[in-house]
């Protein structure tokens, strides 16, 4: 009885091992086929790139502009929405400026007060000049009388003292005018400073672009330098690719490039190489052999012409994946498949 069961189990175990061997053989065949297919694909891809050209995958990027507050305070209004297009100078947000407005009104009142003080000083100067004129004429008359023996020396001295006092009054009035003038200048400077602070409470777009993120909401309190809105500068769009040292070393700044985006592979976009990294992005621990040196990858920046971006402003978007092509040999001509082709 047990022998029968043991034999049966042995037979089932043997059949199971046979099945596993068959599965393993099938898996090995599939791996070989997949590897061969991949190798063929890589070879095919390399064959598609003419000699003197290089390619790499990349993603469209755009420069971001952060609209930040210069002042710490509460946000009163957010005047834009994500995806909205704004022009340079457009108002995008406002800070609570009640306290600043009160200080500004106070400074403006101080200017008016200083101007009135100057008017008073000028009127006083006119009065002191009149007193000096009268004292001068009186002194001349008394001096003549004293010379003829018709006025005492005491009278003459009194008139001289009166004239000296009048002269001092004139100088004091002139100083009062100068002081009022300086006070007006100081008050105007305070107004200018507060106007500048008040202007900083209105956050405007420093450059035309599309609103990408709204980082704060109305009612929130932000610190000085806090980011409120992020814009995308659609006049500065580029693709970043990475090439090995052997290709990056042949690539001059300003050379022609082409970009093909995944969503619109039927179009070929012209670009220019505007940056080639001076140091490798991926470096082995030790660089000794030529194989290791081939692993060095350098960052390349392909920039799309601003005039072209202006024409297709509504279609321009960051984050789109694609392929970048560069010409590492200026003597080569771009193939027909990479001829510039744009939407009409």
CATH number at residue 159: 1.20.120
| Structural domain contains residue 195 | yes
pLDDT score of 32: 44
What would the pLDDT profile of 200-212 be if each residue is shown by its tens digit? 999 999 988 889 8
Round to whole Å and give the CA distance between 236 and 308: 11
pLDDT score of 344: 77
What would the pLDDT profile of 244-270 be if each residue is shown by its tens digit? 888 888 888 999 999 999 999 999 999
**Quick one: 30 exposed, middle or buried, by C-beta within 10 A (0-12, 13-18, 19+)?**
exposed
135 and 162 housed in the same domain: yes
Domain count, the chain: 2
pLDDT score of 26: 52
- Name the token pair of 323: 């392929």
Please state which of the ranges 28-32, 280-284, 308-312 shows the lowest mean pLDDT: 28-32
What would the pLDDT profile of 327-340 be if each residue is shown by its tens digit? 988 888 999 999 99
104 and 175 housed in the same domain: yes
| Structural domain contains residue 273 | no
Range of the structural domain that residue 88 is part of = 65-92+202-228
Helix (H) / strand (E) element for 221: namely strand 221-222
**Rounded to the nearest 5°, which phi and psi values hold at 52?**
95, 0
Which of 163, 184, 200 lies at the terminal end of a domain, its last residue? 200
pLDDT score of 27: 47
Is pLDDT above 80 for 31?
no
pLDDT score of 291: 57
Return the DSSP state at 82: T
159 and 186 housed in the same domain: yes
Token pair 């993603």 is at which residue?
Answer: 59
- For range 292-316, the mean pLDDT: 81
- Name the token pair of 110: 């101080």
Is pLDDT above 50 for 301?
yes
Name the pTM for this structure.
0.59
Q: In angstroms, how far is the first alpha carbon of the chain from the final one?
A: 86
What would the pLDDT profile of 100-135 be if each residue is shown by its tens digit? 999 999 999 999 999 999 999 899 889 888 888 888
| Structural domain contains residue 240 | no
């Amino acid at each position: 009885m047990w022998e029968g069961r043991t034999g049966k189990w042995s037979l089932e175990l043997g059949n199971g091992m046979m099945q596993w061997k068959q599965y393993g053989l099938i898996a090995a065949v599939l791996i070989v086929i997949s590897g061969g297919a991949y190798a063929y694909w890589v070879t095919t891809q390399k064959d598609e790139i003419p000699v003197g050209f290089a390619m790499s995958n990349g993603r469209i990027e755009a420069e971001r502009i952060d609209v930040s507050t210069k002042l710490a305070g509460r946000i009163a209004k957010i005047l834009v929405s994500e995806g909205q297009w704004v022009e340079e100078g457009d108002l995008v947000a406002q800070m609570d400026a009640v306290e600043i407005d009160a200080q500004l009104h106070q400074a403006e009142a101080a200017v008016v007060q200083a101007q009135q003080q100057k008017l008073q000083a000028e009127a006083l100067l006119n009065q002191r000049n009149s007193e000096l004129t009268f004292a001068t004429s009186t002194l001349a008359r008394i001096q003549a009388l004293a010379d003829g023996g018709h006025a005492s020396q005491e009278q003459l001295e009194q008139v001289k003292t009166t004239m000296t006092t009048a002269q001092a009054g004139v100088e004091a009035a002139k100083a009062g005018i100068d002081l009022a003038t300086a006070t007006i200048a100081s008050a105007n400077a305070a107004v200018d400073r507060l106007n500048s602070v008040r202007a900083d409470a209105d956050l405007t777009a420093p450059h035309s672009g599309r609103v990408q993120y709204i980082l704060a909401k109305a009612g929130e309190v932000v610190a000085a330098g806090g980011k409120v809105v992020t814009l995308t500068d659609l006049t500065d769009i580029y693709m970043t690719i990475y090439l090995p040292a052997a290709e990056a070393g042949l690539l001059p700044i300003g050379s022609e490039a082409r970009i093909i985006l995944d969503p619109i592979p039927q179009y070929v976009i012209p670009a220019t190489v505007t940056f080639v990294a001076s140091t490798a992005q991926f470096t082995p621990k030790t660089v000794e052999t030529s194989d290791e040196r081939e692993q060095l990858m350098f960052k390349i920046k392909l920039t799309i012409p601003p005039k072209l971006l202006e024409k297709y402003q509504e279609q321009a978007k960051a984050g789109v994946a694609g392929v970048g092509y560069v010409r590492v040999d200026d003597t080569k001509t771009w193939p027909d498949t990479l001829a510039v082709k744009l939407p009409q």
